[in-house]
């Protein structure tokens, strides 16, 4: 199927202009982004349609863990199934005898590390938004050079002019309608999750202070 023959859309489709903008943007992003961040930025696309992170279920689980610890001691938490990695790490630290301050520091370290990973993924898309218009300008210059060198052949001027104009259009579309919205959404998600996870620190620190009720050790034995 010849896409350039489609009514209305055909004049705006040019394979060379697309190759210059998309190919150039991709190469520049790969060169400036560590592979780990590049993989996370692509994987983050799967999260765009998900609901925002909600800390409430985790707070409910921590409250349930607190009741278990009150009855049987924190050592009983070692058998708990905890899906969230931050809560699981904090509970494992509590079982090992960590103090509330140590638990708080651990959670903060993990929260900051998670936020930095999310921020790096968003920055890749921000970089793509910065690069795409520049690649569009490069394509425009290429098209103008082709146009000026073909002044003696009017039949080739139109194709060169199309490349010059469409690369600018493609660069603006990639930046304004694709990369920038993705980056903005990922940044909002990262900030929201960081704020929600900050609410985990106090209840988990309190969990580290839980002492079993009198006789709980004997009952557990």
Q: Which two tokens stand for residue 11?
A: 């004049």
DSSP 41-109: HHHGGGGTTSPPP--HHHHHHHHHHHHHHHHH-GGGGGG----SHHHHHHHHHHHTT--HHHHHHHHHH
Specify if 123 maps to a domain: yes
Q: How far apart are CA 112 and CA 109, in angstroms?
A: 5
- Among 24-38, 120-134, 152-166, 175-189, which is the least confidently predicted range? 152-166
The pLDDT of residue 203 is 96
Confidence tier at 216 by pLDDT (50, 70, 90): very low
Judge whether residue 176 has pLDDT over 50: yes
The pLDDT of residue 162 is 84
The pLDDT of residue 202 is 96
Specify if 49 maps to a domain: yes
Nearest in space to 36 (alpha carbons), one of 118, 115, 128: 118
Model confidence over 66-114: pLDDT tens digits? 999 999 888 999 888 999 999 999 999 999 999 999 999 999 999 999 9
Mean pLDDT of 50-60: 94
Specify if 143 maps to a domain: yes
Specify if 10 maps to a domain: no
Specify if 66 maps to a domain: yes
The pLDDT of residue 211 is 63
Residue % of the chain over a pLDDT of 90: 71
Specify if 60 maps to a domain: yes
Specify if 183 maps to a domain: yes
Residue 116 lies in domain: 16-220
Model confidence over 198-215: pLDDT tens digits? 999 999 999 998 765 544
Mean pLDDT of 45-55: 92
Q: What is the mean pLDDT of the chain?
A: 89
Q: How far apart are CA 185 and CA 182, in angstroms?
A: 5
Better-scored residue on pLDDT, 143 or 182: 182
Specify if 7 maps to a domain: no
- Among 6-20, 45-59, 126-140, 206-220, which is the least confidently predicted range? 206-220
Mean pLDDT of 102-128: 96
The number of distinct structural domains making up the chain is 1
- End-to-end CA gap in the chain: 75
Confidence tier at 11 by pLDDT (50, 70, 90): confident
Q: Which residue has the tokens 């961040």?
A: 37
């Amino acid at each position: 199927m010849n896409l350039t023959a489609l009514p209305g859309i055909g004049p705006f489709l040019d394979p060379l202009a697309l190759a210059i903008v998309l190919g150039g943007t991709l190469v520049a992003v790969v060169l400036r982004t560590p592979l780990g961040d590049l993989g996370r930025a692509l994987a983050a696309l799967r999260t765009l349609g998900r609901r925002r992170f909600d800390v409430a279920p985790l707070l409910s689980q921590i409250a349930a863990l607190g009741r278990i610890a009150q009855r049987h001691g924190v050592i009983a938490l070692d058998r708990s199934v905890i899906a969230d990695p931050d809560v699981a790490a904090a509970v494992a630290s509590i079982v090992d005898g960590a103090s509330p301050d140590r638990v708080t520091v651990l959670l903060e370290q993990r929260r900051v590390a998670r936020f930095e990973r999310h921020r790096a993924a968003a920055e890749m898309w921000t970089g793509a938004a910065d690069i795409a218009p520049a690649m569009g300008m490069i394509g425009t210059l290429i098209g103008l050079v082709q146009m000026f060198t073909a002044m003696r052949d009017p039949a080739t001027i139109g194709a060169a002019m199309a490349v010059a104009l469409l690369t600018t259009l493609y660069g603006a579309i990639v930046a304004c309608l694709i990369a920038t919205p993705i980056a903005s959404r990922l940044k909002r998600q990262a900030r929201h999750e960081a704020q929600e996870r900050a609410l985990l620190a106090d209840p988990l620190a309190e969990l580290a202070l839980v002492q079993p009720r009198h006789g709980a050790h004997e009952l557990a034995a």
